[in-house]
Every structure is written in structure tokens, then in C-alpha cells.
Amino acid sequence: MKSLERLSAAVMLFAMLALLSACGGSSSGGGTTPPPGETITATGGTPQSATVNAPFTSALQATVSTGGTPNSGVTVTFTATTATSGATGTFGGTNTATATTDQNGNAMAAITANGTAGSYTVTATASGASGTATFSLTNNPQAAITATAGTPQSTAINTAFGAKLQATVLQGTTPQSGVTVTFTAPSSGAGGTFGGQATATAVTDGSGNALSPAFTANGTFGSYVVTATASGVSGTADFTLSNTISLTGDTLYSFYLSGSEAINAGPNFYALAGSIALDSNGNVVAGEQDYNDGFGLTSPQPSGDAITSGSLSVDPSTGLGTLTLVTDNANLGAGGTETFDVQFVNAKHALIVQFDGTATSSGSLDLQTLNVPLAGGYAFTLAGVDAGQYMSVVYGGVFTVSAATFFQNGGTLQGTYDVDDFGAASTPTLGANFSGTISAPDEFGRGTILGTGIAGTLNYYMVGPEALRVVDVDDVPGIIGDSMVGSAFGQGTPGGGQITFTNSSLGTSIFQLQSTWQGNIFAAVGMFTTNPGAGTFSGFADDNEVQNGVQASTAISGTYSLSNTINGYGSLTFSSPLGDIRTLGIYMAAVSISDPNNTTNGYGSALLVDLDGADLNGVGMVAATETISNSQITGGYVFGAQEFNLNINGGEFDFAGAGSITNLVFGGTGFVSDPWAFFKGGTTDSNVSFSGTA
């Protein structure tokens, strides 16, 4: 029995020793290290950066091991976080990816930066592995290219620009060197070349700058953009350039005319307006124009006709000269070449008549000033023929231009007009409101007016901020379209600011009024004095009408009114008709209507429109006058005339010339354009003598 007890005690002691050994203990109180656990660490691809939307160069690598021994076949999950800025990365379009460790315990995942620059982290975890592998990543902004020198700038045609074009490539704020930049000029129209080529390349330096070769303007006027681009770089560098005519002594003149054409199965009414550039030798180096006869003979829109060459020769002793314009429209003039006779009044203003036998018309040639934007109020008239009925139509009114950035963006306009168009309505429309937009002018002061309701499209040519020549350019193939031309004159002071017109703005004045087409021939001139307080006028006038004959030195009187709410807009009504003339629209201006470059003698000027409905209509002008003596009417004078006569086919001739007055005897020479042979001889006649006594 005792032997059995001793055996049981021995077994128990052995069991306790075995338990202590398994627990790392010893009978003497010592211990042993437990076996290591599984861990995960980031072993590749951190830290690193990539451009936004581009893949990172190195894949992310996480390693799973136990006590330094790689664990294969372990599934690792990679998760991209999103920074506050929105920067993150994606694994094939998602923010997580899984990979299995290889025999070296490595799991790898390729990652792509999203489109937001910034820094963020990616984590990797594995089930059963302690800890997290963390990767630090940065999305760099994409390199961008910008124009940093040489824009905007201008130069004369066929000359080199003063500054080379510089494009700069930066990644954020870090310059990118060694980047190849390609500069590209327009392939047609206004543009230029780099040593004869439309493109050129340059490589960025340590500051990220690429400088183009010298750039030379071509022979076409206008503004355009040269672009610079680089592979892998966002955006383009845009250089705004302009080929001008103002840096080599060239001078711009605008012109406008209306009359009768013999071409295109005429006689038809036609309207013409444009601008030309003259060099110091009188060569026409370029220009633009718009022609419209209402029967389909029009300049293409929106480009108009290009004037490619020509010449102006003038006799300095008389101011009489010839202007030849070569256009790209072979339907006009003689195979595209138009000839005009001009009679200069002064260096800035001339009367002009088409003088090539294909058409005859009267108008004006005026020096252009294009560096001052339009703004403020304007009075205007338009005259021509209407659509469908081909009857005489006239418009008159006032408008205001709002154009804070006129030369860059154009502006808006709004105003009030009267219209007499018997082909459309038996009675005139008075006081109609309108609004529209006006585009910025091009190199020749040409722009477009839309949305007025007066015409679908009106083109204008700036004489300067004080005056515009306006032409209707609508063309409806197969039917008669509107054809009109006219002017708008400023209502501001030479130093800036808007004049407020009242009845007192109209004082002692002379006036003229005439038809503009053979459908209703009349002409009237006269003078009157006003009583602003009573709103009345009285004076004398002469009138010549085909239907009603001549009234000479006829007393006139009536009432007039200038609106206090519509600036410069008014009416003038005859108490007793002057022939068929009863009601006139009157629209006050502040510049000389006959010579808009004369800004010192225009107060009291106005435009007139006859608003008599079915009877007749026409346009004219008012000019302030003063009491003068016969002895003051002396010296040199220029005159022009336009005549219609229904007794001959077509019935129009135009006459302009210059002479002198001594003791009220006027004599000189001029030129006659007479395609329908009202006078004897050919269709044009120069050095025509004239004389007469007042």
C-alpha cells in the first residue's frame, strides 16, 4: 500500500515538472521567449509622387512575415485614403485592391493618381497580421504652359514683331526644363511666319522658358492668335497679335455712297460703304467694303469684299483726284475694279462719286480715327429701298451705345426710331423702341449691329467716335432685299460727356431735304429761325417735286419739339405744306454732319427724315447758321450734286467740283458721272467747266 502511494506521488511530481516546463518555467524560477507572430510592413513604393491622373512609377509593396520568415499565400488589402483636398489614388478605378504574397512574402499593387493635387496615404492590411503598412504618396499638379512675354503686340504688315514669343512651362511653381514647345501661327488669313514657316519649336531652359524665333507679320491685316503647346503639358499658351497699318505711315479713310448702278440689269439703287488704307505714296495697300443693291448683287457676309490694292492721285492745287480700288468681287465695277472721282474739301474730308460707267453715286470720303471707343448718344438716318415693293424707305432716330470694353467685346445699344416705308405700311411708324448689340470693330473700323429690328444685319465703319457710316447688308437670294445706307453722328462734347438737348438746342438754321431714289423725286432747301419757348419756327424755303413742280422763296412756319425724355429726338411740322412736305423727324447731333472730322462747329446740327407716308419720303440735314453779308461769301468752295430725272432711263447723274466765288460769281471745274447720258458725250466726263451768279 505504501509502495502504491509512493508511485502516485512520483507520477504527480513528474506531471508538475512537465507542466512547468511547458509554461517556460523551471524548478529554479527561470523563463523562455514565446514564438514570434505574423506582421505586415511597407517595403516599396513609399514615399513617391506622380503627376495628377498619371500612374505612379513604382508599385506599392507590402511584405508579410513571421519572425523574419516570409509568409506566402497571404491576402493583402490595399486601401487609398482621400485627403481633405480631394487628392487620392485609384487601383483600376476603385480605392481598394487585393494581392497575394509571393514566396518572398511580398504583395504588390499598381496605383494611379487622381485629378487632384495633394498628399495622402495608402494602407495595407492582412488578416491575422499585426499592424498596418502605410505608404506616403503625393499627386503633383500637371505641368502647364502659359504665354509670359510677347503678347499682346502689333506691328505693320510684312514686318517683324518687336518681341519674341515666350512660353513658360511650370509644374505648380516648379519650372520644367528640357520641354519641347511648338509655336503655331494661323494657316490662312492674318498671321505670320517664323523664318518663313508657320511653326517653330524651342526647348525650355532652367527657368521653364521657351523663346520662339523671330516672328514676322504676313501681308494680311487683322488680329489673330499664335498658340504654343508641349506634349504632356496641359493647356495652350495663346499670344494675341495684330497686323496693323498704323506703324508705317499708312492712313485710313472710310467712304460711303448711294446711287444707281448700270450693272446687274440696272438701274437699281445700290449702297456702298468701306474703308481703305493709303501709304504715303497714295497706294491703297488694303481695305474692306460692303455693297448691296437689293437684287442679289452683294458683298459676301460676314467677310465683305477685300480691297487688295489701288491708288489715289490728287491735284494739290484743286483737291480733285481719282481713287481706284481693286476688290476680290469680280461682279463689281469693271471686273472687280471700282473707280471714283474725289474732290477734297480739306485733308480729312472729300466728296466722292463713282466714276467708272458701271454705276453713279454720291457720298463722302473721311479720315478715320479708331483709337477712341464709341459711347454715349447718337443720331442716325438710313435711306434706300425696301424688300418686295422696291419702294423708297427711310429711317431716323437716336440711340445710346453702352460699351465699357468696346474694343474687346463690343457693346449694346438701345434707342427710338421713326420709319416711313410705304411698301410695308401706308402710314409711318413713329417712336418705335429698339435694342441690339454692336460688335467690336476690326482693323478697318468695321463692325456689325444686330437685333435692332431695323434690318437683320447692319455693318458700320467708324469715321471716329463722333460718326459712323452704316450699311444694310441683308441678302435674301431670289427676292428683292432691303438696301440702305446712312450715318450716325455723336451727341457728346469733344471732351467727353453727353449733351442734353432741349428746344433751345435748335436755333437759326438752314436745312436740306431730298429723295434718295427715283421713285419719288423731290428736293428742298431753306432756312428758319426758332422761338424755343413757344416751340415754333418760321422762315423761307425752295422746293422742287416731280409731281407738284417748283415752289420758290416760299414762306414756311410751324411747330417743333425736342423730347425731354428721349435725348435729341423730336419732330418738326409745317403749318402749311411745302409741296408735299408736312412732317419731319428731327434728330439732334453735336458734330458737323457734312464734315464729321470737324468737331468744333457742329452744335445745332441735326438729321432730318421726311415722314409723309404715301406722298414722298427722304432724308436731309440741319446746320446752325448766322447772319452774314455778301462780302463774306468769297474764296474757295467745293460742291456736289445728285440728280434724278424720270424722263430718261435710269435718270441719275452725279456732279462734284471746286471753284471760287468773287462778287457772288461762282466758277470752276468738276466731273460728271452720267451712265445714262443725260448730258451729251460719254458716261463720265472730267474737267467740266461751270459758272453761275447769285
- pLDDT value at position 631? 81
Cβ neighbours of 693 (radius 10 Å): 9
- pLDDT value at position 398? 96
Cell reading at 274? 468701306
- pLDDT value at position 678? 80
Q: Residue 12: beta bridge partners?
A: none
Residue 160: is its pLDDT beyond 60? yes
Q: Residue 666: beta bridge partners?
A: 661, 692
**What's the angle, vertex CA 381, arms to CA 454 and CA 546, rounded to 5?**
105
Alpha helices in 537-642 (DSSP H): none
Band of pLDDT at residue 419, cut at 50, 70 and 90:
very high
Residue 19: is its pLDDT beyond 50? no
Band of pLDDT at residue 316, cut at 50, 70 and 90:
confident
Q: What is the pLDDT of residues 222-258, one digit of tens each?
A: 679 999 999 989 899 999 998 775 434 578 999 999 9
Which has the minimum average pLDDT: 54-58, 504-508, 660-664, 674-678? Answer: 674-678
**Phi-psi group of 150: left, alpha or beta (phi > 0 → left; psi -120 to 50 → alpha; rest → beta):** left
Cell reading at 11? 507520477
Residue 8: is its pLDDT beyond 60? no
- pLDDT value at position 10? 40
- pLDDT value at position 477? 52
Is there a contact between 385 and 393 (Cβ–Cβ < 8 Å)?
A: yes
Band of pLDDT at residue 449, cut at 50, 70 and 90:
very high
- pLDDT value at position 220? 67
Residue 30: is its pLDDT beyond 50? no
State how far the Cα of 146 lies from the Cα of 235, in Å rounded to an integer.
8
Q: What is the pLDDT of residues 336-377, one digit of tens each?
A: 999 999 998 888 899 999 999 999 999 999 999 887 888 789
Band of pLDDT at residue 404, cut at 50, 70 and 90:
low
Q: What is the pLDDT of residues 546-581, one digit of tens each?
A: 878 899 999 999 999 998 778 899 999 999 989 889
Is there a contact between 52 and 143 (Cβ–Cβ < 8 Å)?
A: no
Residue 18: is its pLDDT beyond 60? no
3-state secondary structure of 504: helix
Proportion of the chain above pLDDT 90, given as a percent: 59
Of the two residues 6 and 481, the one the predictor is more confident about is 481
State how far the Cα of 275 lies from the Cα of 287, in Å rounded to an integer.
5
Residues 6+ apart with CB under 8 A from 196: none
**What is the phi/psi pair of residue 408, to 5°?**
-95, -45
Which has the minimum average pLDDT: 49-58, 154-163, 594-603? Answer: 594-603
Cell reading at 543? 422746293
State how far the Cα of 586 lies from the Cα of 513, in Å rounded to an integer.
12
Residue 28: is its pLDDT beyond 70? no
Which has the minimum average pLDDT: 6-10, 126-130, 464-468? Answer: 6-10
Of the two residues 465 and 527, the one the predictor is more confident about is 527
Q: What is the pLDDT of residues 183-236, one digit of tens each?
A: 999 987 778 999 999 999 999 999 999 999 999 998 666 679 999 999 989 899
The length of the chain is 694
3-state secondary structure of 484: strand
State how far the Cα of 443 lies from the Cα of 217, in Å rounded to an integer.
14
Element (H, E) at 22: helix 2-22
The stretch 89-97 carries a mean pLDDT of: 96
Q: Is the dihedral of CA 621, 625, 631, 635 positive or negative?
A: negative
State how far the Cα of 524 lies from the Cα of 63, in Å rounded to an integer.
104
Q: How far is CA 644 from CA 235, 511, 537, in A?
A: 62, 20, 30
